[in-house]
Structure 1
Amino acid sequence: MFNQKPDKIMTYLLDFGKHLDEAADYFLTFKVKDPKTLLEFANTMKRYESEADDKVHDIISDLNQVFITPIEREDIMQLTMNLDDVLDGMEEFSALMDIHQVLSSDDYMDAFTDYIQKSAKEIVLSLELLADSKLEDIEQHAIQIKEYESKCDELYRSSMKDLFQKETNAIKVIQYKEIYETLEEIADRFQDVASVLQSIIMKNA
């Protein structure tokens, strides 16, 4: 079912994963200092998201042109859309920060983004293995992604509890609640990618 040399679709998927990884590195390491740099952050994440949409288009176009695919078409499409969902969530977070003019992250945001970056690294490793037909080695990375998602669930509960107990400004409660929810949703989308990878393993083992 797999060719020894990665085909075009596998190359596209791996390129998508590396694009996500690059975006996640920027997402974690870029330091907002003022409204100008906040806008730069939001615009750059929007560019990453827009470039991801182009990659989705390329994969769909290629799928429409080939008769035989290395894995099931539905799995390719689901994996593609879930990767795109992750970048959509990251862009949504940056947009919210800009809309609410939040000029610095807190400890919860920093922890979320750290897990997001680590999850992106696991995605790249998984897609490299998928391209090399090393299915049995993907499972450990899928499990790790799900462990990071579980950590983000704990973070979300802690962040919300802390927010409602300590913040007295109702507007800030609304703003930060939305921001924390978005970060937790990004982790959920990573988990969706991991689930698709595990499904591919089971179907092709």
Structure 2
Amino acid sequence: MIQKEKDYFQSLIELIEYSIKASNLLKSTFENFEVKELEKNIENINKITKLVTEKKQDIFIKLDKEFITPIEREDIIQLAFSINNITYSMKYILERIFMFNITYIKKEAEEFAAIIFQYVNELRKVIDELRKYKKSQNLHVLISKINKSREEADNLYKLTIKKLFIYTKDPIKLMIWKDIYEQFYKCCNNIIFVSYLVENIILKNS
């Protein structure tokens, strides 16, 4: 029984590790942006998302054969899907940069990429601590830290969109960058949503 619990929690940790790899790739892409490197970076993030999907499916196969799980089966499924969504949302950001033929990166995009990297690494601590959810003294603190950081993402998104509409005269560029910023914001919300799921798990099992 103990080994089974460790397996599921470890699988979730491995999922979030892929999100960290993707966030590191996203951050480095925006910090050192080169158009000629973009296709290679998309290829790399596609490899990461493929591994994420395989790991998620592995979790589901194991669940299908289990009668007893450390936390509710539905919670494991939802966590796996939601962590999967985090990684894929970063892939979608890079794909938009490629599809819209972006040749320069705005400062706000760099800021969003840095925030996502920070959030994902904080979430890694939450997922790691989840295996000790019945006794952990740190889990609530870690979750609270992520939940409070939502205000940072909200403010950056609102100010960025406002600035975009004030200073961007070209309607095509406005549309393109608005879409990119929305994808960044969705990624931030996907990360925060996972922290909410963990919080709900704790409440249900307390």
Q: What TM-score results when the alignment is normalised by the length of structure 1?
A: 0.92
Q: Is 1:73 equivalent to 2:73 in the alignment?
A: yes
> How far has the Cα of 1:6 moved from its partner?
4.7
Other structure's SS at 2:85 match:
helix
Check conservation: 1:138, 1:197, Cα contact below 8 A.
no
Q: Is 1:188 equivalent to 2:189 in the alignment?
A: yes
1:201 corresponds in structure 2 to: 202
1:13 corresponds in structure 2 to: 12
Check conservation: 1:93, 1:183, Cα contact below 8 A.
yes
Other structure's SS at 2:2 match:
coil
Deviations 1:61-110 (A, max 9, x none): 11111111010111111111110111111111000000012133222111
1:145 corresponds in structure 2 to: 146
> How far has the Cα of 1:14 moved from its partner?
1.0
2-side partners of 1:105 and 1:197: how far apart?
Answer: 34
Structure 2: tracts of 5 or more residues without a match: none
The percentage of aligned residue pairs carrying the same residue is 23
Q: What TM-score results when the alignment is normalised by the length of structure 2?
A: 0.92
Other structure's SS at 1:156 match:
helix
1-side partners of 2:127 and 2:43: how far apart?
Answer: 27
Structure 1: tracts of 5 or more residues without a match: none
> How far has the Cα of 1:32 moved from its partner?
2.3
What letter matches 1:99 in structure 2?
M
Aligned pairs (5 A) from 1:1-205: 3=2, 6-30=5-29, 31-34=32-35, 36-133=36-133, 134-205=135-206
2-side partners of 1:64 and 1:200: how far apart?
Answer: 20
> How far has the Cα of 1:147 moved from its partner?
2.3
Distance 1:5 1:122, change over 3 A: farther
2-side partners of 1:135 and 1:80: how far apart?
Answer: 21
2-side partners of 1:112 and 1:82: how far apart?
Answer: 20
C-alpha RMSD of the superposition: 1.7
> How far has the Cα of 1:132 moved from its partner?
3.7
Return 165-174 or 18-27, whichever deviates more: 18-27
* Number of aligned positions between the proteins: 203
Check conservation: 1:17, 1:83, Cα contact below 8 A.
yes
